[in-house]
A and B are shown apart, each in its own frame.
Chain A
Amino acid sequence: MSASYAASVQPTSESPTSAQQVIQELQQHLPKGSLLWQPETLAPYECDGLTAYRELPLAVALPSTEAELVGVLQTCHRLGVPIVARGAGTGLSGGATPHARGVTLSLARFHRILEIDPVARTARVECGVRNLAISEAADAHGLYYAPDPSSQIACTIGGNVAENSGGVHCLKYGLTLHNVLRVRGYTVAGEPIEFGSEAPDAAGLDLLAVFLGSEGMLGIAVEITVRLVPKPELARCIMASFGDVRDAGNAVASIIANAIIPAGLEMMDQPMTAAVEDFVQAGYDLEAAAILLCESDGTAAEVAEEIERMLEVLQAAGATRLEVSTDEAQRLRFWSGRKNAFPASGRISPDYLCMDSTIPRARLADMLTAITAMQDTYGLRCVNVFHAGDGNLHPLILFDANDPGQLERAERFGADILETSVAMGGTITGEHGVGLEKLNSMCVQFSPEERSQMLALKAAFDPLGLLNPGKVIPTLQRCAEHGRMHVHRGLLPFPDLPRF
């Protein structure tokens, strides 16, 4: 798999300035220790969660104040140097992969929680605050921040804004975009800017909507106001077994069709269940072709009413076994396997590719059938975990990179899944972003005119194309098959971090 992308990126702005000059000018704005340029100090920044892509940046800037940040932005803007913003570096699509001639702008030092307003139910925090730290700070008021990407103990809210991150509870509580009220930051030229408002809307076009999920290509967020929600009094989870994946897929559609919006609705197929059961011993039904985890939260009365309705629907949909958590320990045990799908897969295969696409819920069974057929076509196994409630798939394609040809087959397998997702009315990425990883798949989903329109939108914010160049929106010539997230022998940059 390609290790360098610099060669394939079209520079958006020729930079005649020497690296030495850039470093000297940046030094004028940053104290000692806040600018890294020696190769050994740059190494920790060479990749994000997409480890297949590595590059050393020209330098890493670690501003601690907004004045320092503005100095970095103005300098880079003046010298035509690309800027790659970086939070915790947990992203899975290469959104923070460095640019060889660019400055990686680490925002990790902006990590203060500025204000929790328990009456307005908002938190105003700096971009480097970890997702989970917001909920921890709000806990004293009985509130929390709802979007919960599985990497939430490490990922930052700034990164969540850049990726429009999801999580297990999106169906009921929304994505990042539904929970961020306001973003304050700077344009590429270092001018102060604010999108959104603590009011329900802001004057002008809804630029916050495009800023969210723009993968660091439109501006630099520094301060973010998020909406907090009251912690539910109670959560209970149903574990439902199905003898047939089609029944399980139909059960998911049936729940929604019966006007139930579960707090979480997850699905695992039999090979995945076997792998995680071996890993966590959660007591999963190994006979089941698929397992659904269906969660209800709210007041005790609400949960009792909803669990009853969920059980009826699941029963009618042909569940072969139903178990309802009776206490918090059991509920967490139900979830433990689902949350460990990633490391569990690492134990059963030397390598795997993790895909991330979304399809209409009603096509889940069709997709599983298609993936089963693809296993024969490509001669590789695939285990499946789905955020079934929102149709978001994470098929893990198992292979051995040491066996010649397997990686290439796995990549074609993955591309086939993505294209099938688009053809089913879905999308090539549900929550991991495009970054570098899905760059070529963007050609499958969007026409040249659509991509040109997106590039024009980008240019409205960043006319010189200095923010994260070469990511998200591919140029025509980049439309060719290429790699997915590739995990060799379970080697992730944060091996202990739960994923998905």
Chain B
Amino acid sequence: MSTLPGIRTAWHDAPEGSLSRQALSPPHGAMSPSDDAMPPRSSPSVPSHPEAERLRDAVRAAIADASPLCLQGGGTRTFLGDPVSAAPLSVAGLRGIVDYQPAELFITARAGTPVAEIEAALAERGQCLAFEPPRFGDAGTVGGMVAAGLSGPGRMAGGSLRDAVLGTVLLNGRAEILRFGGQVIKNVAGYDVSRLLAGSLGTLGILLEVSLRVAPQAVASATRVYDLPDAQAIDQVNRWLAQALPVHASAWHQGRLYLRLQGARAAVDQACQRLGGDAMSADEAAAFWDALRDHHHPVLAEPAELPLWRLALPPTHPPLALAGDWLIEWHGGQRWLRSALPAATIRAATQAASGHATRFRPGARPESGVNSLTPLTGPLACIEQAVKLAFDPHGLFNPGRRPYVPPAA
């Protein structure tokens, strides 16, 4: 198997008999073109790893005992969705980068690998995760990150976490280990199960391994600040986006619009001149966007008295008349709200604006009877429930994490 020196990086910490692709046999020679019978499966065989086998045994036992499981990674995102009361099963022991090919723009890692380890490996080669996943501390795992499905400030320019998922290895509710997708960008073989798993909050199965698209770090970046009310800020940033400008991220809070430009040096310099505004120093800007990304920003930071709502809206929708402290990201597409308003009021206003509202953090005195996530209704709810059962027929994984409202008979 030939390699390109200096480009293909052999990743190391895979023990013998592990998920390592380096262990796979080279392709040619082994295959006979003349087989008329059922062709042998020549794709990489589903990995076996002692920790994966332990998890598989745990699922087998859970099936036998009809005892559901609460999946755990680094424990940094357990606040997402509704609480689960089930026996904990940790995936954190299944760790290690399996394969990283900077020139192929992908990284494959076992689900328990800390996100911090992945980001450090990427940074070493001048690459990054373009969706800028929020890091709620250092313990977060890549499996938890994919299951949570959250993206950060650069999501609108760099795509969402879901967009970056290329492949997964899943342990489903039948204790089967399954591989979907792969490591290449263009892949339309079968249904795109891997991307369905992004943001599924561990309700469909246990992620064992994920492959993600990675991106080169930006050559140049600059942040400009403008004094603008919310409605004008949303309109202005969207009008800029309709032009060929390197607008990468935006945020609005308390009358100020923050605009991050990113791309080729010449393009960023030109855009700074053209778009005016006040410059933010590089350090100040890095701290500002990191605070947004990692939820240290005053609106997002915990603990807090009031609940934190995340509203996903069509970006150009005008500001909603709901009282509270607003932080607007994603050019208007993601809006955070600290508010004492009842959940029903917030959900109704969001729905009327063609969006959905998540009670991201419950606050000090949570309103009772409120699901964290917006429950589905109608045929979509039926399909979602059927999809859940297709993967997890015994209802083992994270029961109650996602709201399920049985449709009216």
A binding-site residues for B, Cβ under 8 Å: 117-121, 141-143, 163-164, 166, 170-171, 174-175, 177-178, 187, 191-195, 197-207, 209-210, 212-214, 230-233, 250, 253-254, 256-257, 259-261, 298-299, 301-302, 304-306, 358-362, 365-366, 370, 373-374, 377-378, 387, 390-392, 412-413, 415-416, 419-420, 422-434, 438, 440-447, 449-451, 453-454, 456-461, 463, 472-473, 479-481
B-chain residues with CB within 8 Å of residue A257 when the two chains form the complex: 7, 102-103
Chain B CB within 10 A, most for which of A192, A210, A377, A480: A210
Flag if B38 contacts A479 (CB, 8 Å): yes
Flag if A305 contacts B266 (CB, 8 Å): yes
A204-B103 in contact given A362-B4, A453-B390 (Cβ < 8 Å): no
**Closest residue on chain A to residue B351 by CB atoms:** A203
B-chain residues with CB within 8 Å of residue A200 when the two chains form the complex: 155-156, 160, 312, 315, 330, 333-334
User: From residue A366, how far is it (CB to closest CB) to chain B in Å?
Assistant: 6
User: From residue B316, how far is it (CB to closest CB) to chain A in Å?
Assistant: 4
What size tier do the contact residues of chain B reach? 35 or more
B-chain residues with CB within 8 Å of residue A373 when the two chains form the complex: 28
Flag if A201 contacts B312 (CB, 8 Å): yes
Complex partner residue of B244 from A231, A432, A445, CB under 8 angstroms:
A231
Flag if A259 contacts B217 (CB, 8 Å): yes
Flag if A256 contacts B104 (CB, 8 Å): yes
A170 to B213, CA, bound (A): 13
**Closest residue on chain B to residue A121 by CB atoms:** B242
Flag if A214 contacts B191 (CB, 8 Å): yes
A170 to B159, CA, bound (A): 13
Flag if A232 contacts B179 (CB, 8 Å): no
Binds A, one of B40-48, B248-256, B362-370: B40-48
Flag if B104 contacts A362 (CB, 8 Å): yes
A430-B235 in contact given A301-B270, A378-B33 (Cβ < 8 Å): no
User: From residue B68, how far is it (CB to closest CB) to chain A in Å?
Assistant: 18
A-chain residues with CB within 8 Å of residue B101 when the two chains form the complex: 360, 362
**Closest residue on chain A to residue B355 by CB atoms:** A199
User: From residue B89, how far is it (CB to closest CB) to chain A in Å?
Assistant: 20
Judge if B238 is at the interface, Cβ distance under 8 Å: yes
Complex partner residue of A206 from B34, B43, B187, B195, CB under 8 angstroms:
B195
A-chain residues with CB within 8 Å of residue B163 when the two chains form the complex: 174, 177-178
A256 to B103, CA, bound (A): 5
Complex partner residue of A450 from B31, B36, B180, B386, CB under 8 angstroms:
B180
Flag if A201 contacts B8 (CB, 8 Å): no
B-chain residues with CB within 8 Å of residue A480 when the two chains form the complex: 36-39
Flag if B8 contacts A362 (CB, 8 Å): yes
Flag if B7 contacts A199 (CB, 8 Å): no
User: From residue B297, how far is it (CB to closest CB) to chain A in Å?
Assistant: 18
A440 to B39, CA, bound (A): 9
**Closest residue on chain A to residue B178 by CB atoms:** A450
A225 to B245, CA, bound (A): 23
Judge if B243 is at the interface, Cβ distance under 8 Å: yes
Flag if B356 contacts A164 (CB, 8 Å): no
A-chain residues with CB within 8 Å of residue B160 when the two chains form the complex: 200-201
A243 to B10, CA, bound (A): 29
Binds A, one of B71-79, B109-117, B137-145, B375-383: B375-383
B-chain residues with CB within 8 Å of residue A120 when the two chains form the complex: 238, 314-316
Secondary structure at the B interface, as helix, strand, loop or mixed, is: loop
List 22 A-B residue pairs with CB atoms under 8 Å apart, sorted by A's residue number: A142-B243, A166-B186, A174-B159, A199-B314, A200-B155, A201-B160, A201-B312, A204-B376, A206-B162, A207-B383, A298-B267, A301-B269, A302-B264, A304-B266, A360-B104, A412-B34, A423-B30, A429-B188, A440-B39, A445-B41, A453-B178, A473-B190
**Closest residue on chain A to residue B271 by CB atoms:** A299
Extra contacts besides A200-B160, A250-B7, A479-B38 (12): CB < 8 Å: A120-B314, A166-B186, A192-B379, A198-B314, A200-B155, A206-B149, A230-B242, A256-B105, A444-B39, A453-B178, A459-B390, A481-B39
A-chain residues with CB within 8 Å of residue B221 when the two chains form the complex: none
A-chain residues with CB within 8 Å of residue B339 when the two chains form the complex: none
Binds A, one of B49-57, B196-204, B320-328: B196-204
Flag if A213 contacts B217 (CB, 8 Å): no
A449 to B56, CA, bound (A): 15
User: From residue A469, how far is it (CB to closest CB) to chain B in Å?
Assistant: 15
A-chain residues with CB within 8 Å of residue B373 when the two chains form the complex: 203-204
A42 to B176, CA, bound (A): 44
Judge if B120 is at the interface, Cβ distance under 8 Å: no
A365 to B2, CA, bound (A): 10
Flag if A420 contacts B28 (CB, 8 Å): yes
B-chain residues with CB within 8 Å of residue A141 when the two chains form the complex: 242
Complex partner residue of A415 from B39, B186, B200, B215, CB under 8 angstroms:
B39
A-chain residues with CB within 8 Å of residue B244 when the two chains form the complex: 230-233, 298-299
Complex partner residue of A187 from B2, B31, B183, B379, CB under 8 angstroms:
B379
A164 to B245, CA, bound (A): 27
B-chain residues with CB within 8 Å of residue A460 when the two chains form the complex: 383, 386-387, 389-390
A318 to B183, CA, bound (A): 28
Flag if B242 contacts A360 (CB, 8 Å): no
A472 to B316, CA, bound (A): 38
Flag if A425 contacts B219 (CB, 8 Å): no
Flag if A449 contacts B199 (CB, 8 Å): no
Judge if B391 is at the interface, Cβ distance under 8 Å: yes
A-chain residues with CB within 8 Å of residue B3 when the two chains form the complex: 362
A138 to B27, CA, bound (A): 46
Flag if A447 contacts B383 (CB, 8 Å): no
B-chain residues with CB within 8 Å of residue A361 when the two chains form the complex: 103-104
A365 to B73, CA, bound (A): 40
Flag if B315 contacts A447 (CB, 8 Å): no
**Closest residue on chain B to residue A255 by CB atoms:** B103
B-chain residues with CB within 8 Å of residue A206 when the two chains form the complex: 149, 162, 195-196, 198-200
Flag if B4 contacts A250 (CB, 8 Å): yes
Judge if B172 is at the interface, Cβ distance under 8 Å: yes
User: From residue B166, how far is it (CB to closest CB) to chain A in Å?
Assistant: 10
Judge if B154 is at the interface, Cβ distance under 8 Å: no
A304 to B242, CA, bound (A): 22
A458-B380 in contact given A200-B333, A233-B244, A423-B42 (Cβ < 8 Å): no
Q: Which of chain B's residues 64-115 have a Cβ closer than 8 Å to chain A? A: 101-105
User: From residue A232, how far is it (CB to closest CB) to chain B in Å?
Assistant: 6
**Closest residue on chain A to residue B265 by CB atoms:** A305
- For the complex of A and B, the 6 pairs showing the least CB-CB separation, nearest first, are A423-B27, A259-B216, A301-B266, A460-B386, A209-B195, A430-B186
Complex partner residue of A366 from B2, B43, B172, CB under 8 angstroms:
B2
Complex partner residue of B188 from A163, A362, A413, A457, CB under 8 angstroms:
A163
A202 to B384, CA, bound (A): 13
A422 to B183, CA, bound (A): 11
Flag if B374 contacts A203 (CB, 8 Å): yes
Judge if B348 is at the interface, Cβ distance under 8 Å: no
Flag if B379 contacts A191 (CB, 8 Å): yes
A197 to B314, CA, bound (A): 8
Flag if A205 contacts B33 (CB, 8 Å): no
**Closest residue on chain A to residue B21 by CB atoms:** A425
B-chain residues with CB within 8 Å of residue A365 when the two chains form the complex: 2
A453-B172 in contact given A250-B4, A298-B264, A423-B43 (Cβ < 8 Å): yes
A201 to B160, CA, bound (A): 9
B-chain residues with CB within 8 Å of residue A429 when the two chains form the complex: 187-189
A-chain residues with CB within 8 Å of residue B378 when the two chains form the complex: 191, 193
B-chain residues with CB within 8 Å of residue A438 when the two chains form the complex: 189
A415 to B376, CA, bound (A): 44
A415 to B176, CA, bound (A): 28
A416-B384 in contact given A119-B242, A254-B7 (Cβ < 8 Å): no
